[in-house]
Amino acid sequence: MRVYDPAVMFLGPLLVTMLTACYVRVSTEEQNLERQLQSVQSYAEEKLNTELSELQIFRDKSTGTDTSRSGYRDMMETLEGEDIEHVVVHEISRLARSLQDLERTVSRITDNGTAIHFVRDGLSFGDGKEQPMNRLQMQMLGAFAEWQARVKQMNTKEGIAARQDEDDYHHGRPPLGFEKNDGQLIEGENYGQVCAVLDMVVKGDLSKRKAAQELDSSRKTIDRAIDRGSLYGI
Q: Does 137 or 169 have the greater pLDDT score?
A: 137
Query: Which ranges of 119-186 would DSSP assign to H, the alpha helix?
Result: 134-164, 167-170
pTM of the model: 0.57
Question: What's the pLDDT at 160?
Answer: 61
The rounded percent of the chain whose pLDDT value lies above 70 is 71
- pLDDT confidence of 90, banded at 50, 70, 90? very high
Of the two residues 234 and 74, the one the predictor is more confident about is 74
Q: Where residue 49 falls among pLDDT bands split at 50, 70, 90?
A: very high
Q: Which has the closest alpha carbon to 127: 72, 41, 49?
A: 49
Nearest-angstrom CA–CA distance, 53 and 197: 33
pLDDT tops 50 at residue 156: yes
Higher pLDDT, 94 or 132: 94
Question: Within 10 Å of residue 37's Cβ, how many Cβ atoms?
Answer: 18
Distance CA 95, CA 88 (A): 10
> Does residue 19 or residue 6 have the better pLDDT?
19
